[in-house]
């Protein structure tokens, strides 16, 4: 699905990613772990075209999409749900969801069908479809952000810290939805500081430290790793 090779990227003179290489196979859930400042968000922004790399390649099939504009990458079906959600608070839930089909150039009928499918997955949002997103709770806004991404029928869904700021019950509900997407065969990369939740749902994981891959492997193997248990789980 996607291969990242020797990627370097950052902000101006500040380099964050230092030679990151990884891959995502179709149908996999890959967790991206690491503390604040490790480079998780920078990596997802670079893959999705919000940042241009200074070096390296991002292969989607045979094409090197590194440095492509974000709208062109989104048109391929590589969809980012950013940290902070990136919603339009003055617009209704329904109109926020409709924006999910924009980059994919969907026809009106297909867009209506996909919005209804999103409401089927998130029935609480259907009840509030006419309400301004800014009036919703943080957990409901996170569901809107995820639902909006699904309207665009992503081939690869990138989730950046989706559980940040959510109460434990809402975190559990969120991961139930992500599990549903996994069972449906969706390809996901999940950047997440909630290591236990991330490793329970992931097939494989990469651990970023200071912009480099420090550990990688099958999720069950990393879950039992002494380094993971000590640094991230406090065991």
What is the residue-level pLDDT of the chain in tens, covering all 235 positions? 899 999 999 998 899 999 999 999 999 999 999 888 889 999 999 999 999 999 999 999 899 999 999 999 999 999 999 888 888 899 999 999 999 888 778 888 999 999 999 999 889 899 999 999 999 988 889 999 999 999 999 999 999 998 888 888 888 888 998 999 999 999 999 998 888 889 999 999 999 999 999 989 999 998 888 777 666 655 4
Report the C-alpha gap between 183 and 30 in whole angstroms. Answer: 14
Segments of the chain assigned to CATH 3.40.50.300: 1-77+155-235
Report the C-alpha gap between 204 and 217 in whole angstroms. Answer: 6
Q: What is the DSSP secondary structure assignment for residue 131, as one 8-state letter?
A: S
Report the C-alpha gap between 28 and 14 in whole angstroms. Answer: 32
Question: Was domain 1-77+155-235 assigned CATH 3.40.50.150?
Answer: no
Report the C-alpha gap between 70 and 108 in whole angstroms. Answer: 23
Q: What is the pLDDT of residue 164?
A: 83
Q: What is the pLDDT of residue 235?
A: 41
Please name the residues in contact with 97: beta carbons below 8 A apart, sequence gap of 6 or more: 115, 118, 119, 125, 144, 147, 148, 151
Q: What is the pLDDT of residue 103?
A: 73
Q: Report pTM.
A: 0.91
What DSSP element (H or E) covers 18? strand 14-24
Q: What is the pLDDT of residue 230?
A: 64
């Amino acid at each position: 699905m996607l291969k990242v090779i020797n990627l370097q990227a950052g902000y101006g003179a500040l380099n964050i990613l230092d030679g990151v290489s990884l891959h995502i196979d179709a149908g996999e859930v890959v967790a991206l772990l690491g503390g604040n400042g490790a480079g998780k968000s920078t990596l997802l922004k670079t893959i999705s075209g919000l940042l241009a790399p200074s070096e390296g390649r991002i292969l989607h099939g045979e094409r090197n999409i590194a440095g492509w504009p974000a709208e062109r990458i989104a048109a391929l079906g590589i969809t980012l749900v950013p940290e902070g959600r990136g919603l339009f608070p003055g617009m209704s839930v329904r109109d926020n969801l409709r924006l999910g089909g924009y980059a994919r150039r969907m026809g009106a009928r297909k867009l209506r069908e996909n919005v209804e499918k999103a409401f089927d997955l998130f029935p609480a949002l259907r009840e509030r479809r006419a309400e301004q997103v800014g009036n919703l709770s943080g957990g409901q806004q996170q569901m809107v952000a995820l639902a909006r991404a699904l309207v665009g029928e992503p081939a690869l869904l990138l989730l950046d810290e989706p559980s940040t700021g959510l109460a434990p019950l809402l975190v559990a509900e969120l991961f139930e939805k992500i599990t549903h997407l996994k069972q449906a065969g969706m390809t996901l990369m999940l950047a997440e500081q909630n290591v236990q939740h991330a490793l329970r749902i992931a097939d494989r994981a990469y651990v970023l430290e200071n912009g480099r891959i420090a550990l990688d492997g099958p999720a069950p193997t990393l879950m039992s790793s002494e380094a993971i248990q000590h640094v991230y789980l406090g065991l």
